[in-house]
Structure 1
Amino acid sequence: MSSHSARAQPELHDPHKALPASPLEMCLSPWRHRGLVSQMVRREVVGRYKGSMIGLAWSFLNPLLMLAIYTFVFSVVFKARWGVNANEGRVDFAVVLFVGLIVHGLFAECVNRAPTLIVQNTNYVKKVVFPLDILPVVAMGSALFHAIISTLVLLVAIIATGNQLHWEFLLWPVLMLPTALLALGFSWFLSSLGVFIRDVGQITLIFTTALLFLSPVFFPVSSMPEKYQALMNINPLTQAIEQMRGAIIFGRQPQWSGYLVSLGGAALAAWAGFWWFQRTRKGFADVL
């Protein structure tokens, strides 16, 4: 009887146990739990629009609405121009602007959600054996879904407006990888920090809003005075946006040397965030 009762008990784990935090473990953990990650991403995407009248259509309408607002403000009110061609119109401006919004949107969605990922899932911390480190990966999966939808909208817009579609468009997954890794590193770090410091969520909202206007989303880096261009290039999103825009809109080959440096830095940031998460997660159970 005692043996049967012991087997019937829910499986518990030691929340204070130190867990591996190597770069290899960072890569293997999402792969090891890929089925769970896929299921949770699907549930999160569908759950976000559950109960709404048009459902997943909001994933198309939200970026289009924001794009329309930004395009009106910057191309009509401020009369900003990209210099795409001599007869550049508002649609051309919108297409170029959209590339920057997609890159920033992926990063901002992950960072803004990160501080509450663990706090909102306290049942995973104490009661069951659950790989907490995949929660930021799930958030990344959801953000990537919306980025892909926005990119499909961009593709349709390029074709519909008669602009040339360059083969470099196919490099989108490669060029988005540094941003995804950087966002994942921030997510691991901030999701842990948000357990101990609840004000982090307010700070990230300010940070990502400032980053929107301090990144080359609404303007090219070349339009800034030279003394500020070096500061702009410190922004981790600058190269990602410029490389993506150059490849998709202008058909330019990425600067692979700069890309590899950016990719290496993003991978290091991802591992640093994962290391911090694994080393601090043993304190989650005491706080929550």
Structure 2
Amino acid sequence: MQIFLTSPRELIASAWRNRSLIVAMTKREVSGRYRGSTLGMLWSLFNPILMLAIYTFVFSVIFKARWNTSSESKTEFALMLFAGLIVFNLFSECISRSPNLILGNTNYVKKVVFPLEILPWVTLGAALFHFTISLGVWLIAYLILVGSLHITTFLLPLVIVPLLFLTLGLAWFLASLGVFLRDVSQIIGVLISILMFMSPIFYPVTALPEQYRGLIESNPLTPAIEGTRKILFLGDVPDWSQIGSFTFVSLIVCWLGFTWFQKTRKGFADVL
């Protein structure tokens, strides 16, 4: 019987051993999504711009939403909103697809030599591609509409990397759970929609009544979203204690998700 290791060292070692395969499958994942479309890869650029325009119009024009800053311009609102939205989209793209990762690749399950644990890495890689495109759009828009970028922009990985570990851990857990409980994908779709409005994307945490701030601050996406805004738009350093706690929790979730996946993968073939 094959033994699947669950140590933190194996988590990293598996990704390193299969790095070429992960890169190849990520490229195929990204290109395959737009294969056959007239605009091709340009959709990865148009989609975030279109959603930004819609959300900005709805919240800043119809609902008159504003940020607690000196400026009340729609340009500022759009940039603040977009900064939060690209972080959320990175998370939601991976999580929403995770329950069907094994179900959509049943041919790999029968292959004993195929490293199933890399599938969440592939999904994360594709989401990172779209995140990078959206971030590039944001940076160009800021340069055009506001001016030079803040030096704190280089601190962005300190906020995003913990989010990647958190996302990866949840992806492993959901990929496994989706094999045994087919309703997971439907449940996750609903939870992602709820999480969008329970995250400080369209509003700052300070805009909420005091009794509700604890609920939003307990959201695992809040440190990443708020930290990204501070770094990119305000030019401030993130809350180091918050980022430290976020990183610790993310690493624990990542390892637990990997352990769960390795422990349960033996039953995939029987279910499928």
1:84: Cα distance to partner? 3.5
Does structure 1 residue 65 correspond to structure 2 residue 45? no
- Counterpart AA for 1:200: V
Provide the residue aligned with 2:127 in structure 1. 143
Alignment partner for residue 36 of structure 2, among 51, 72, 86?
A: 51
Provide the residue aligned with 1:77 in structure 2. 62
Alignment partner for residue 157 of structure 2, among 165, 173, 177?
A: 173
Does structure 1 residue 226 correspond to structure 2 residue 210? yes
Structure 2 unaligned segments of length 5 or more: list them: none
- Counterpart AA for 1:115: P
Alignment partner for residue 108 of structure 1, among 70, 73, 92?
A: 92
Secondary structure in 2 matching 1:236: coil
Secondary structure in 1 matching 2:182: coil
With normalisation by structure 1, the TM-score equals: 0.92
- Counterpart AA for 1:204: I
Whole-angstrom CA distance in 1 between matches of 2:6 and 2:14: 10
Whole-angstrom CA distance in 1 between matches of 2:20 and 2:218: 37
Q: Sequence identity, in percent?
A: 52
Provide the residue aligned with 2:140 in structure 1. 156
Would the aligned equivalents of 1:178 and 1:262 in 2 still touch at CA under 8 Å? yes
Does structure 1 residue 256 correspond to structure 2 residue 240? yes
1:89: Cα distance to partner? 1.6
Whole-angstrom CA distance in 2 between matches of 1:160 and 1:40: 35
Whole-angstrom CA distance in 1 between matches of 2:159 and 2:167: 14
Provide the residue aligned with 2:105 in structure 1. 121
Would the aligned equivalents of 1:106 and 1:143 in 2 still touch at CA under 8 Å? yes
Whole-angstrom CA distance in 2 between matches of 1:106 and 1:82: 23
Whole-angstrom CA distance in 1 between matches of 2:259 and 2:82: 34
C-alpha spacing 1:164/1:83, structure 2 compared with 1 (3 Å)? farther
Whole-angstrom CA distance in 1 between matches of 2:75 and 2:173: 39
1:158: Cα distance to partner? 0.2
Would the aligned equivalents of 1:84 and 1:92 in 2 still touch at CA under 8 Å? no
Whole-angstrom CA distance in 1 between matches of 2:147 and 2:201: 20
Deviations 1:140-162 (A, max 9, x none): 00001100110000001101102
Structure 1 unaligned segments of length 5 or more: list them: 1-13
Whole-angstrom CA distance in 1 between matches of 2:85 and 2:119: 24
Deviations 1:60-104 (A, max 9, x none): 100111111100000000011113433x32121110000110111
Provide the residue aligned with 2:3 in structure 1. 18
Higher-Rg member (1/2): 1
Whole-angstrom CA distance in 2 between matches of 1:30 and 1:115: 20
- Counterpart AA for 2:133: I
Would the aligned equivalents of 2:98 and 2:120 in 1 still touch at CA under 8 Å? yes
Would the aligned equivalents of 2:68 and 2:207 in 1 still touch at CA under 8 Å? no
- Counterpart AA for 1:62: N
Alignment partner for residue 22 of structure 2, among 37, 40, 59?
A: 37
How many residues in Structure 1 have an aligned counterpart in Structure 2?
272
Would the aligned equivalents of 1:195 and 1:287 in 2 still touch at CA under 8 Å? yes
With normalisation by structure 2, the TM-score equals: 0.98
- Counterpart AA for 1:266: S
Deviations 1:100-153 (A, max 9, x none): 101110110110000000011111111351000000000000001100110000
1:170: Cα distance to partner? 1.4
Stretches of 4+ aligned residues off by more than 4 angstroms: none
